Structure 1
Amino acid sequence: MKAMILAAGKGERMRPLTLHTPKPLLVAGGKALITHHLDNLSRTGFQEVVINHAWLGQQIEQHLGNGEQFGLEIRYSAEGEPLETAGGIVRALPLLIEGSDGWFLVINGDIWTDFPLGQLQPPANPDCDAVLVMTDNPAHHPDGDFHLGPDGVLSACGADKLTFTGISLLHRRLFAGLDDSAGKLGPVLRNAMARHRVQGVQHHGQWIDVGTPARLTELDRLLTEGKLPS
């Protein structure tokens, strides 16, 4: 299975840090955010990774190269002008599904987590198009995103919603009929949820949405002090 790291955002909430540095290359615990993901993917056994980029994307390619330093093969999906998340995935689909059964892993580039990626496996249910990793709601997102039912099926409505971590296992079926103008991933997922085609798993470990300079500083402190595994 191949993996994709979403790294094309402009990082506007992280300014001024991202005026001259793409968000995935911001450093926490002595390593770029995207390097934490690549190290995790390599440890898990992934071999091929696709990274999309737009804003200052050449810096990402120069920093990571072909992935050899991580024991990976990295291929890039250059967008020029940033596409939204679903559009970016559709643009990269030919790279992701080449030689595969249609399933691939997607990780947001601006998160940190200790979730064991090896736990995400294609579901037995042939009518499932996506498996999302969910977690408890952080203070900055108290209302959550989706409801995880006792049967493991996710829905857009319902009490006790959890937060989507930005880690998912997706099938090419999810994007049938879409092109790279598809927009954000959220509406695509909600459409599939309405047809009961999305499952979820809950992560009870560590997860941080590194969306602001303050959260980046906090992540750096926790990693530097050894309070999180690096």
Structure 2
Amino acid sequence: MARFRAMILAAGRGERMRPLTDHTPKPLLAVGGKPLIVWHIERLRAAGFTELVINHAHLGHRLEQALGDGAAFGVRIAWSPEVRALETAGGIRHALPLLDDAPFVVVNGDVFCDADFSAMRTAAASLRTTGPLAHLLLVDNPDHHPDGDFHLDGAGRIDADQTPRLTFSGIGAYHPALFAGLADDTPAKLAPLLRAAMAADQVRGEHHRGRWVDVGTPARLAGLDRELARQG
């Protein structure tokens, strides 16, 4: 059986979360009794992802201290430190040598999502066999982002220009070729790569209708924590 790796993006500074992130990396902020990043690790492990790559920059040593090699969570973590912020695509490009030159899943470390990652595992497998460069998980537009990002048609194709639009969740499966044109250790954003791939009809996706939160402010963090506490 083919093995697929997953990467959790954890290198962001978390400016909007200050002062909480002055001494704690944003993915280590707790909701529902455990750090945001641990929710991801547990869901990825449940879906069969046992080999994870995590990048870091700001307070990265705190992440390594908290998570170690991943054995306590039933996974194996390879760390991808960044001397300077490389943005999303630059961070992924820097980590490619750890991702085994095969399609992989990426999860933003500062979102909360109840998606079943086994579906993303299937999506990564489809990139290996059918040719698209990316498969994105889209969600309903939150109040703070009402216009959304991308259009999803009935055949699962994603387009950057049509409407109505859904919001990109920060969770996707990618083929390494999407990042082939980037130089290592160079900051690069993900959106331009995705838009170019969409123009070539190389991006597919699905609509997740479950729970998703962009935990970008202290208020959203506190609200999610209260919600999870009520759920027990």
Provide the TM-score with structure 1 as the length reference.
0.95
Residue 80 of structure 1 deviates from its aligned partner by 1.8
Within 2, Cα distance between the matches of 1:8 and 1:25? 12
| Structure 2 residue 70 is the aligned partner of structure 1 residue 70 | no
Task: Among all aligned residue pairs of Structure 1 and Structure 2, give the percentage whose two residues are the same amino acid.
Answer: 54
2:11 corresponds to which of 4, 8, 24 = 8
| Structure 2 residue 159 is the aligned partner of structure 1 residue 161 | no
| Structure 2 residue 107 is the aligned partner of structure 1 residue 112 | no
| Structure 2 residue 153 is the aligned partner of structure 1 residue 149 | yes
Specify the code of the residue in structure 1 equivalent to 2:118: G
Q: Contact conserved, 2:85 with 2:187, CA < 8 A, in 1? A: no
2:177 corresponds to which of 170, 173, 176 = 173
Within 2, Cα distance between the matches of 1:55 and 1:81? 9
Q: Contact conserved, 1:5 with 1:108, CA < 8 A, in 2? A: yes
> Runs of at least 4 residues of structure 1 off by over 3 A?
none
Within 2, Cα distance between the matches of 1:183 and 1:163? 20
Per-residue deviation, residues 136-159 of structure 1 (Å, max 9, x unmatched): 101110000000012211011011
Judge which range, 146-155 or 61-70, deviates more: 146-155
- Listed as ranges, the matches of 1:1-230 within 5 Å are 1-97=4-100, 102-120=102-120, 121=122, 122-123=125-126, 126-180=130-184, 181-226=186-231
Q: Which runs of 5+ in 1 are unaligned?
A: none
Q: Contact conserved, 1:146 with 1:164, CA < 8 A, in 2? A: yes
Q: Contact conserved, 1:132 with 1:201, CA < 8 A, in 2? A: yes
Structure holding more helix per residue: 2
Residue 182 of structure 1 deviates from its aligned partner by 4.9
Residue 82 of structure 1 deviates from its aligned partner by 1.4
| 3-state DSSP of counterpart to 1:219 | helix
Q: What's the C-alpha RMSD, in Å, of the aligned pairs?
A: 1.2
Provide the TM-score with structure 2 as the length reference.
0.94
| 3-state DSSP of counterpart to 1:18 | helix
Specify the code of the residue in structure 2 equivalent to 1:212: T
